[in-house]
Structure 1
Amino acid sequence: MFFSPGSEEGDRVAERTDSNEHQLTLLLMLKSYQRMGCFPKRVEIPDMVVDFVRRAVDLPEGTLPFYASEKTAKNHRMLVRQRVGVRYDGKWARELAWEAIRSEAASKNNPADLINVALEKLVEAGLELPAFSTPDHMASTVRAGWRTPGSAPASGSARARTGARVCCGCWTSRSWCRVRNRRSTGLSSTPSGRPGHTSNV
């Protein structure tokens, strides 16, 4: 099963955490990120996955994932990103997604095709993937602009200011599957094409 922690992963996470709860949470963050390309909310992780990972590393029955402080959660997100060789840059990700979608809008009618183009660009750039709603909203807005006679797609910078936000994605967003599956096997590349960091988690 994909969410099975490797022995090396389990050992490193154990070394970098100070409680069973933090160990379980960091493992869930790591395995989820490898699968999805972003951090899901706790409520989005199925209980069966939580139980599976807990048993895989022999943590006590009843151990639940949670963070005692936001500082610890932030530090662990940083460790995961370093591990998989990606960066979180919301502003750049939005600009890159807008540029990709707008450049293809004249030749692609299906919003899903525009979304996939944007995701491919983000993967190539080594950026953390956004929530499904971000490029979905961008694609819908741009296509609406092209469908209006005499109009042009909305400005990317203007749309970015309306609240499009790069963040963790929904566990069940199937539209991410193709690109996120690439991430699950291709997370060893940095934006420059060099091998990604693998020694921090």
Structure 2
Amino acid sequence: MTALNRTAYPYFKQSPSPRELAELYTPTADELDLAERRVRSVPNRLSFLVLLKSFQRLGYFPKDEVIPAPVTSHLREQLGLDADVSASAPGASRRRYYQVIRDYLQVKPYDSSAEQVATTAIEAAVSVMDHPSDLINVAVERLIKGSYELPAFGTLERLAKHLRVLSHTELYRQISSQLNQAERDYLDGLITQPDAEVKAMLNQLKAAPKSEKLTHLVQLQQTFDELMSFGDAQPGLFHLQR
């Protein structure tokens, strides 16, 4: 499970400060005019503006239960409504508000075209990025740049992990196709019957690069040289050298 807070996927701060409420969630005169023109009932304008300001902050329409209470209270005050006025809109009204807000913000819904945009972005990045959070970030950036509504976080997470598996499988296939049987047997033996020395070597080869200090760069070069000692890997790296 990828931690949402380790990605660029937007989410609410549950306790926004008064300054944040004023700067991020106060409707403009144009937005108030939009609400008056497109929503007949004054109480329902609260629902509309909560969705509008939430979308501006997040890039998607959140569920009612994740919208911070201070945000709803702030907008309720802006409209001069009583504290007991609900911000939840009926399903049909809510869907209509979605479309009005998309049109106003000139944002496209997440559909098959948007999924293809996210897929293309991840496929281009997956050969040089490995962690799902990095792949999710690439997709989020490309979708926002393309003026698309963001899908649920889980949708992007599943897409990133699926494409990552496909990329890794193809990489393993390419490497395996260049090995002879003796080399395959040798590598299999490293995993199936590792002694202490082999385990130490495997752990060293699997270790992630450390910070950009000179001593760490020297260690990284040593690890690279050890990897190259297994055979000529240059043909498989040609696409990274262009």
TM over 0.5: yes
Give the AA of the match of 2:27.
P
Aligned equivalent of 2:32: 10
Quick one: which of 73, 84, 87 aligns to 1:65?
A: 87
Distance in 2 separating the partners of 1:150 and 1:90: 32
Runs of 4+ deviating beyond 4 Å: none
Identity %: 30
Distance in 2 separating the partners of 1:107 and 1:51: 45
Distance in 2 separating the partners of 1:37 and 1:133: 15
Distance in 1 separating the partners of 2:111 and 2:141: 16
Aligned equivalent of 2:76: 54
Q: CA deviation at 1:141?
A: 2.0
Aligned equivalent of 2:58: 36
The secondary structure found in structure 1 opposite 2:95 is helix
Q: CA deviation at 1:8?
A: 2.6
Distance in 2 separating the partners of 1:120 and 1:8: 28
The secondary structure found in structure 1 opposite 2:161 is helix
Q: CA deviation at 1:51?
A: 0.8
Structure 1, unpaired ranges of 5+ = 152-201
**Larger fraction in helix:** 2
**TM-score, scaled to structure 2:** 0.58
Q: Which has the larger radius of gyration?
A: 2
Kept in 2: contact 1:21–1:66 (CA 8 A) = no
Aligned equivalent of 1:150: 173
Distance in 1 separating the partners of 2:112 and 2:55: 20
Q: Give the alignment of 1:122-161 within 5 angstroms.
A: 122-148=143-169, 149-150=172-173
Q: Which has the higher contact order (CA 8 A, sep 6+)?
A: 1
**TM-score, scaled to structure 1:** 0.68
Aligned equivalent of 2:212: none
Distance in 2 separating the partners of 1:21 and 1:40: 19
Alignment RMSD (CA, Å): 1.7
Distance in 2 separating the partners of 1:102 and 1:22: 43
Give the AA of the match of 2:144.
V
Decide whether aligned partners of structure 1 residues 55 and 25 sit closer, same or farther in structure 2, where only a CA change above 3 A counts: same
Q: CA deviation at 1:28?
A: 0.4
Q: CA deviation at 1:58?
A: 1.1
Kept in 2: contact 1:119–1:129 (CA 8 A) = yes
Kept in 2: contact 1:98–1:118 (CA 8 A) = yes
Quick one: which of 94, 111, 133 aligns to 1:112?
A: 133
Cα displacement string for residues 117-145 of structure 1 (whole angstroms, at most 9, x for unaligned residues): 11222122211111111111111222233
The secondary structure found in structure 2 opposite 1:106 is coil
Distance in 2 separating the partners of 1:111 and 1:75: 34
How many residue pairs are counted as aligned between the two chains? 150
